[in-house]
Amino acid sequence: MIRKTFATMLLATIGMIGLNVPALADWSGEGDLGMVVARGNTDTDTISARLAVKKTQDKWEHNAGLAFLRSTNAGVTSAERFQLTGQSDYAIDEHSYYFGSLRYEDDKFSGFDYQSSVTGGYGRKFIDTEVATLKGELGIGYRQTKLETFGSEGDAILRAAMNYTRNLTDTTSFSNDTLVESGSNNTFAQNITGLSVRINDSMAMKVGFEVRYNSEVPVGLKSTDTITTLNLNYKF
């Protein structure tokens, strides 16, 4: 069931963003890769990876992303998460746009087999300069979730998002992204803060801090998870 759902969401993402092989040159993007290996009193391996691509065409802007995290302790997996996102924006004017968005997540240690959502709504750019950007989005949609201990269930959701970036210096930038999906079955919230220091035109070192929250989790699990990462970032 999970594989079928994932395949459906992946095909929907590809269709939504209009991806085709000859047009790959029109896309720009960036990737993050981080790894921590500890030996001695602890035996821990952690790897995190992220890929984000973007394409702008006329009044359309298409974004797609993949994120992966895996951690083992003494050979036993202690964290494993995969996330797929896609969004298309259609400009109404210089500051406003409509959006369609989807998200699929498979987190083996969250109490959920998977969470997937499809939403649409209105977005606005409050700040859009070379130094800083700030935009907010508000929409409605549908979410399908499956708990490890129960069957799948769906609910209508309200989606809110806020994205902020700022160039602190010629080589240093700050970003903060917040996402909230709230429905009758669960409220999911995610906040990602990043600080990036550019090494050259293509590469940078990036420190990230992520907070994730689920209001409804199985007994024995915590509602809030945090992760701190140090990644090598490459733009293309």
Map tokens 């689920």 to a residue.
Answer: 214
206-216 pLDDT, tens digit each? 999 999 999 98
Q: How many helices (H) and strands (E) does the chain have?
A: 1, 12
Judged against a pLDDT cut of 50, whether residue 188 lies above it is answered with yes
Residue whose structure tokens are 């993949």: 66
Mean per-residue pLDDT over the chain, rounded: 87
Average pLDDT over residues 199-228: 89
- Per the CB < 8 A criterion, the answer to whether 195 and 172 are in contact is yes
Q: Which position has the higher pLDDT, 193 or 221?
A: 193
Asked if 89 and 60 touch (Cβ cutoff 8 Å), the reply is yes
> How big, in percent rounded to 5, are the helix, strand and coil portions of the chain?
10, 70, 20
Residues 46-83 pLDDT 10s: 899 999 999 999 999 999 999 999 988 888 888 888 99
Residue with tokens 């992204």: 177
- Evaluate whether 14 touches 55 at the Cβ level (below 8 Å): no
Q: Which CATH number fits domain 2-235: 2.40.160.40, 3.40.640.10, 3.20.20.220, 2.102.10.10?
A: 2.40.160.40
Residue pLDDT, tens place only, 90-118: 999 999 999 999 999 998 777 778 899 99
Domain spans, the chain: 2-235
DSSP 217: -
pLDDT of 2 > 60? The answer is no
Token pair, residue 190, equals 């995610």
Closest CA to 103 of 144, 56, 148: 144
Q: Provide the CB-side half-sphere exposure for 60 (13 A, CA).
A: 13
- Cβ neighbours, 10 Å, residue 236: 9
